[in-house]
Amino acid sequence: MLRLINCQHATLLIEQRQDPVMPQRERASLWLHLHLCPYCKRYSRQSILITEWAWASAAGRVQAGPGLSAAAKERMREQLVAAG
């Protein structure tokens, strides 16, 4: 039985869709809504983009940027020697 759902519900289900335990009935309702609503279809694509960018952005920062200052390294070294 396909239920008509609103955009608020659909955008929540878009997040939950990655969850393997999402009931089949909700999947079907979301599928129907996305067929009828261009805004939510757009949102669904953008939601995936946002998560891809967040991951890529963090990964990119690992590769670049400043290292640990010499003073901090020395301070940590002394700490380790004292605690060791």
Partner 1 sequence: MTPATPVPAEWPARFGDELYRFALSRVSDSEVAEELVQETFLSALASLVTFRADASERTWLFVILRRKIIDHYRRQTRAPHVGLDALHDGGATEADYFNPANGHWTGPQAPASWLRADAALEQQELHEILRLCQERLPPQQGAVFAMRFVEELSAEEICQELGLTASNYWVIVHRAKLQLRRCLEKHGMGKN
Nearer to partner 1, 3 or 51 (CB): 51
Q: Of 31 and 53, which has the nearer Cβ to partner 1?
A: 53
Give the residue carrying structure tokens 């309702």. Answer: 29
Distance CA 38, CA 18 (A): 20
Query: For residue 33, which phi and psi values (nearest 5 degrees)?
Result: -60, -45
Length of the chain: 84
> How many Cα atoms occupy the beta-carbon half-sphere of 34 within 13 Å?
17
Contact footprint for partner 1 (CB under 8 A): 6-9, 11-12, 15-16, 19, 39-40, 42-43, 46-47, 49-51, 53-68, 72-74, 76-77, 79-81, 83-84
| Min CB(21)–partner 1 separation in Å | 10
Give whichever of 2 and 72 is closer to partner 1, judged by the CB atom.
72
